[in-house]
Homo-oligomer: A and B are copies of this chain.
Amino acid sequence: MDKSTISSKSIYRLLIYQRCLRKLLENEIETVSSSALAKAAGVNAAQLRKDLAGFGQLGTRGLGYPVEDLINTIREFLGKSALQPVILIGAGNLGSALMRYNGFQKGGFQVVGAFDLFPQASYGKGHDVPVFPMDNLTTFIQQKNVKLAILCVPGEHAQEVANTLALAKIGGILNFSPTVLQVPDSITVNNVDLALELENLSYFVTQEP
């Protein structure tokens, strides 16, 4: 499949298919139709087939897709390699919770270090991630060759930290701060704005009478 022209949305869906397929595998189901998998993933069946189209002929007409093969094909495409190191900046409420969150580990990521203005405050919060002062940030990134950073600092400090990350040549930022970051094009930013999500949801719910 052509890796350069694929959209972010397709990647999201492929990741979701992976999850659904793994559940099927656990239940020892060997083949699945596009319509069944699409329903589980919450998408249209034609779209699922389109997403899978680039992988070549891997479904059987009249039957469906072989679950295990499909998992492997997608994993290979996504390049799910070895354990990937991640750092986290801002060891407050949310940051500490994310350090304990095991969903990242399942996905092949490990939080190898955290950074905070007041590192001491974060100890004893039930995680085993070392917390360093902010001064060490740049050196750490460069020495450990870290590509991804999770940003959980208050909105008013987010841009400042992002600048530091940019100088240290980070590859991507998962930004939980309620701030639109201005970064060079070489850095990919994924925004997860919790308040915004709730407000957006609220808009569509309150519309009803």
> A residues within 8 Å of B by Cβ?
3-4, 8, 11-12, 15-16, 19-20, 40-42, 78-79, 81, 84, 86, 93-94, 96-98, 100-101, 103-104, 106-109, 126, 147-148, 150, 171-174, 178, 180-182, 186, 188, 190, 192, 194-208
Contacts and interface: CB of A to CB of B under 8 A. Distances in A.
Contact of A205 (B182, B188, B199): B188
10 contacts: A8-B200, A8-B204, A15-B200, A42-B180, A101-B194, A107-B199, A108-B199, A109-B199, A172-B205, A192-B192
Closest 7 CB pairs of A and B: A97-B97, A103-B195, A171-B205, A172-B205, A107-B195, A190-B201, A42-B180
Contacts of A103: 178, 194-195
Contact of A202 (B40, B148, B197, B201): B148
Contacts of A11: 200, 203-204
Total identical chains: 2
Contacts of A15: 196, 199-200
Contacts of A78: 199, 203
Given A15-B196, A79-B206, A201 B180 contact: no
A101 B194 CA distance: 9
Contacts of A19: 178
A201 B174 contact: yes
B40 A148 contact: no
A56 B4 CA distance: 41
Given A109-B202, A200-B11, A201-B188, A180 B93 contact: no
Given A78-B203, A79-B206, A147-B205, 9 more contacts: A42-B182, A78-B199, A103-B178, A104-B194, A104-B195, A106-B195, A172-B202, A174-B201, A192-B197
